[in-house]
Structure 1
Amino acid sequence: MRRAAVQAFRTTFQYTVRGLGRRPFTTCILQTSSAKSPTTRRLLSTTQRRTLKHHKNNASSGIPPPRLDNSIPLPPPLQSSMYYRRAGVVLASALVGYGAWYSYNDGSPGNVNNVSAKRGYTTDTSTADSSLPTRNVLVISADQLHTGTIVGDGPISKTTSEDGTRVIEMLNPEQATEKLRKLEESYLVNRGQGVVRYDLVQLPSNDPIEDDHTEKIIEIEPPTSNNGGNDWMFWGVFDGHSGWTTSAKLRQTLVSFVARELNQTYQKSDKSLPGTEAVDAAIKSGFLKLDDEIVNQSVQKVLQANNKTMAAELLAPALSGSCALLSFYDSRSKLLRVACTGDSRAVLGRRQENGKWTATPLSIDQTGSNLEEANRLRKEHPNEPYVVRNGRILGGLEPSRAFGDASYKWTREISDKLRKHFFARSVSNLLRTPPYVTAEPIITTTKIEPEKGDFVVMATDGLWEMLTNEEVIGLVGKWIDAQQQNKPSSSSPGLFDSVWSKAFGSSSAAQSGLPVEVAKMDGPEGQRAPFRGVRQWGGNDGFVVEDLNVATHLVRNALGGKNREQVSALLTLPAPFSRRYRDDLTVQVIFFGEGEQKGGEVVPNNEAMKGLKGELKAKL
């Protein structure tokens, strides 16, 4: 009976969604006791007739009829941001709420609601046993996604048919928050060198997560020196694709490569500080030397060793790929340099005299859709009309700059040789004059003004697919206002002390909307606008402040904010289904300020890191 009931449940969902799919609605909401328009009434009536007809055919099996519930809208399933995926016939814009499945009670179906149709409306004719719990579930198939409810406390079958359709119990809001905060971190920088705190969080969509990150502070001169000390501070986010190995390699080595080149440049300088061009050249050299080690030197070592085990280890970071966003802050000069390879993004927030914040992009998205990048590639590869096709390099890779991705850098001869003796990725038929992709970053330099409470948000493109620059900066501003309003002045130092109060001024929490100067909605030139996110899912009146970690706060609002059911649904989705609705997310927020030197350590801010509380130690 269980198999018959599960099959009936799945088939009924398919019948309903097929009926909805022929109607030109962006989001379809099924009402249980009322309809807001004649169109909705007709929709409900048609759907109900299909459902009741199917139930009549299965009446002999004892299967109770389903109950229609309200739905929650989700963004349309999308292609991978790095490579095309065959999504099949995907439900474009709606997550149809629908269910009241059966429960088990000593091997028999439990009590459920019956449904009848009358004058185009749906009404309940009986009430389920109030003592039985009702649980929300997601029903996931290869090309469709639905919500439903199960009445009763019996087991939930997670795989319901040979085609992989799954029923998964939805996380409740508390469980969703726990998952959201699992990988959050927060640190107080007690060094008096212009940085007071940084927060970060990761949320996987791929399994395992393909993103990575790094944070490192190098003491150039101690605070006791005549110059008052000098730190080099680095923060990096790495957006991996086609695997996690390249981003992991960047976490382990990129800062070391760049710091080594910077050290040599500073030592050679006749002045107290080298010029901008020299520093930029050093950063670029560090990026390119590491990529050469990943892509080219690894091949030489593999061919010399002629060992498949070594080949698997050395070639993995070359065959996968990763974008890289690295910030370098020199506390003496107060200059922040942001080096970007790929389409991760950094944005500066700075408070104005009117209390609002401005969002200044510190990087551009380097993809085939960026006109400047496309023109550069066409100039470097003349007579190759398909070097950029559909906004992608050779029609495949979206970022025009990346580490690894050796199939776009190796010659065809090298790829064929490696494939014959070891392994390698297939080569595009369009490959003529590699390399087509470079790891050379584009670098911006910004003078930080700690007295104005400057902060920088660095994130992989999973965040920028959902929120604009202004929304992100405004959300941080809203979070700051909430912390100042709710946190007593006598609370633990290091969070919002007198330094921050001077920079931020009075609270603007009472303002309507976000405290940010609004720029054009499509974003600056070279940056694409969000194509999935809260603007499609409910508008910016749905933002909320619930988290003490500001990076977690940004991710929560990217997923739906006040719409708790939507946030829970997106966090419930397992890999690989979740990848159609959200990418891996890695977010860092760095707060600058004229803080005092308090012991010189970087200490965990346990109050803002629930998931890893007590597990992380001070670091420098």
Structure 2
Amino acid sequence: MNTKKLSLALLSGLVLTGAWYYRDTLLGASETGFPIAGESSSTPSATTTAVGPGATEGPRKVVAVDSESVYTGTLSAGPGGRVSKEVENNGEKVVEMLTPEQATSKLRRNEESYFVGRGKGVWRYDVVQVPSNDPIEDDHAEKIIEVPPTVVPVEEGQEAGPSDWMFWGVFDGHSGWTTSAKLRQVLITFVAREISNTYKAAVTDPTSKTPSPESIDNAIKKGFLQLDHEIIHESVDKVFKNPSKLVAAETLAPALSGSCALLAFYESRSKLLRVAVTGDSRAVLGRRGSNGKWTATPLSEDQTGSNESEAERMRKEHPGEEYVVRNGRVLGGLEPSRAFGDAFYKWSYDTQLKIKNQFFGRTPSTLLKTPPYVTAEPAITTTRIEPEKGDFLVMATDGLWEMLTNEEVVGLVGKWLDDQKAASKDGKPWFGSWFGGKDQGMLPVEVTTNDATGQRQPVRIKQWGVTAKDSERFVCEDRNAATHLVRNALGGMNQDMLCALLTLPSPYSRRYRDDLTVEVIFFGDNTENNGQVTINKEATATVGNDTPQAKL
């Protein structure tokens, strides 16, 4: 990954003149920020534009970005609105930095939280999305399906009545948003249908009333592969039957873009959690140990060309092809080695050429010899959940894992839970508390050094120059656990970093942070709300009505 240097919060006392908007001075700035105030410049002075009401006189913090770096500083501006300046043809942009309050509003704009009062092993889940691309290329989906005993028989020692199948999915799109949107609409349906068929077949089998673990895994894989086949191949059949460029553009859109997929399936009666991963989104389980600290257990492995096991798999599938994996990428281009869509790595050379000649597209790569090079088949892990111990699951697109380690993520949620619990006991507001203070400098998590799971270390830490200890980095300010994670990923206690990263407009922001989609699922029994799923208004951005997103 090519990273650009981020220089933040180093020039809060400096005043930038209008001349420093210009390319020769901007690119001539050092990596620690703009030239010091008072330096001479032969560049003509530029006029600062102020648009909109409410601005005040005096210095205001600004963020400036060019083709290589981003800088912060203060700008001396007169009365008027927000400062905004773009220099045409050169790609520089200067914008007034968001205030901490505005940054918090942006963080919480898309947060959602739900109480699951069904007494089936899950009591709450939190979701948030923070875009970097415009529009955001990530997506997510949740669904709860009540399954009668005729489909999932009650075994000895299990609670009578229907079972809940609970699904959570996060989808990391790339080269557009259409593939991830398709997954949001139908992936859970495809998978649930195959699992249901597998259970129904087992019920009618006189030798076994329940399906084997392998058959359930195969059902999930079948659901993934059937949907990708529809996206990649059935779409082509449709457009050649109706050769219209408009139809082709709409029908082929999910094939031409791509998306990783991370799907969690929890069966309430067995308390088994299956996590299926296609791509490099990640799921991590948090579980409290006997010493009171949390342990972080990865339930997925990042599937990229940099993962040696994935690279070896592709080399075996395409023997003799020297460039099947190059620079950690499939054919030197795509980083995820498994994904939905991404038809240019799956269609044959002839199909791509035919689509290009008849509709649109690009000339196929000369490296394309034995497609498909990318598969949507997921890898699946199975874990028995212990709801009585307060297990939780964090699912997120790779935008989060570029910034935080597995242990930091679990420790941050653990700290968030501790603060919630303390507040419920003494009635004092936890919201806004800091990590500093006696015995609170470190996250409550066991730190391991096991690098054998294929997980990449956070690349942004080096890019941003983060060296602070836990007690100097992290903060609890949000009632939504997913928002809490994103805030700390983007700067935490360093408000200048947080505000600068959220100020950067698209497409500049993509150099420093990815789209972020995070879900946190809390296991435990909650029998309130008469078996319904209800909105947690304190941790949800806007509530149009009380209809929960998760459908029964």
* Deviation per residue, 1:388-433 (Å, 9 max, x gap): 0000000000000000000000000000000111123442221100
- Matched residue type, 1:163: N
1:613 to 506, 524, 543: 543
2:40 to 42, 53, 59: 53
- Matched residue type, 2:95: I
CA contact (8 A) 1:325 1:338 kept: yes
Q: 1:543: how far off?
A: 0.4
> CA separation of 1:323/1:235 partners in 2, compared to 1, >3 Å: closer, same or farther?
same
Aligned to 1:533: 461
> CA separation of 1:242/1:161 partners in 2, compared to 1, >3 Å: closer, same or farther?
closer
> CA separation of 1:532/1:392 partners in 2, compared to 1, >3 Å: closer, same or farther?
same
* Deviation per residue, 1:289-322 (Å, 9 max, x gap): 0000000010011111112221111100000000
Aligned-partner Cα distance in 2 for 1:410–1:103: 50
- SS of equivalent to 1:487: helix
Aligned to 2:10: none
1:516 to 431, 445, 453: 445
Aligned-partner Cα distance in 1 for 2:49–2:312: 60
Residue 132 of structure 2 corresponds to residue 132 of structure 1: no
Residue 533 of structure 2 corresponds to residue 602 of structure 1: yes
Q: 1:216: how far off?
A: 0.2
Aligned to 1:571: 502
Q: Give structure 2 stretches of 5+ with no counterpart.
A: 1-15, 51-55, 431-436
Structure with the larger RCO, 1 or 2 (CA within 8 Å, 6+ apart): 2
1:465 to 402, 414, 437: 402
1:549 to 473, 480, 483: 480
- SS of equivalent to 2:414: helix
- SS of equivalent to 1:259: helix
Aligned-partner Cα distance in 2 for 1:163–1:19: 15
Q: 1:489: how far off?
A: 6.8
> CA separation of 1:411/1:234 partners in 2, compared to 1, >3 Å: closer, same or farther?
same
Normalising by the residue count of structure 2, what TM-score does the alignment of the two structures yield? 0.87
CA contact (8 A) 2:27 2:66 kept: no
- Matched residue type, 1:234: F
- SS of equivalent to 1:339: strand
> CA separation of 1:359/1:286 partners in 2, compared to 1, >3 Å: closer, same or farther?
same
Q: 1:273: how far off?
A: 2.8
1:163 to 65, 87, 90: 90
Structure (1 or 2) with the larger CA radius of gyration = 1
CA contact (8 A) 1:533 1:558 kept: no
- Matched residue type, 2:173: G
Residue 21 of structure 2 corresponds to residue 10 of structure 1: yes
Residue 359 of structure 2 corresponds to residue 433 of structure 1: no
Aligned-partner Cα distance in 2 for 1:509–1:369: 41
Q: 1:460: how far off?
A: 0.2
Q: 1:103: how far off?
A: 8.9
CA contact (8 A) 2:477 2:484 kept: yes
Q: 1:161: how far off?
A: 4.1
CA contact (8 A) 1:481 1:509 kept: no
Aligned-partner Cα distance in 2 for 1:523–1:614: 45
Q: 1:536: how far off?
A: 3.7
Aligned to 1:97: none
CA contact (8 A) 2:33 2:71 kept: no
- Matched residue type, 1:136: K
CA contact (8 A) 1:187 1:605 kept: yes
Aligned to 1:392: 329
Residue 132 of structure 2 corresponds to residue 202 of structure 1: no
Aligned-partner Cα distance in 1 for 2:366–2:95: 42
> CA separation of 1:408/1:242 partners in 2, compared to 1, >3 Å: closer, same or farther?
same
> CA separation of 1:523/1:425 partners in 2, compared to 1, >3 Å: closer, same or farther?
farther
1:265 to 187, 198, 213: 198
Q: 1:447: how far off?
A: 0.3
Q: 1:616: how far off?
A: 5.5
- Matched residue type, 2:162: G
Instruction: Work out the percentage of aligned pairs sharing the same amino acid.
Output: 58
CA contact (8 A) 1:394 1:428 kept: no
1:153 to 79, 90, 96: 79
- SS of equivalent to 2:531: strand
* Deviation per residue, 1:358-399 (Å, 9 max, x gap): 000000000001111101100110110110000000000000
Bigger mean CA deviation after superposition, 416-425 or 269-278: 269-278
Bigger mean CA deviation after superposition, 477-486 or 153-162: 153-162
Aligned-partner Cα distance in 2 for 1:303–1:359: 49
Q: 1:138: how far off?
A: 1.4
CA contact (8 A) 1:103 1:150 kept: no
- SS of equivalent to 1:186: strand
- Matched residue type, 1:53: S
Q: 1:512: how far off?
A: 2.9
Q: 1:135: how far off?
A: 1.4
Aligned-partner Cα distance in 2 for 1:364–1:398: 14
- CA RMSD, Structure 1 to Structure 2 (Å): 2.7
User: 5 Å matches for 1:313-462?
Assistant: 313-462=250-399
* Deviation per residue, 1:464-487 (Å, 9 max, x gap): 000000000000001011111123
Aligned to 1:93: none
CA contact (8 A) 1:533 1:559 kept: no
Aligned-partner Cα distance in 2 for 1:437–1:343: 13
CA contact (8 A) 1:212 1:240 kept: yes
- Matched residue type, 2:336: P
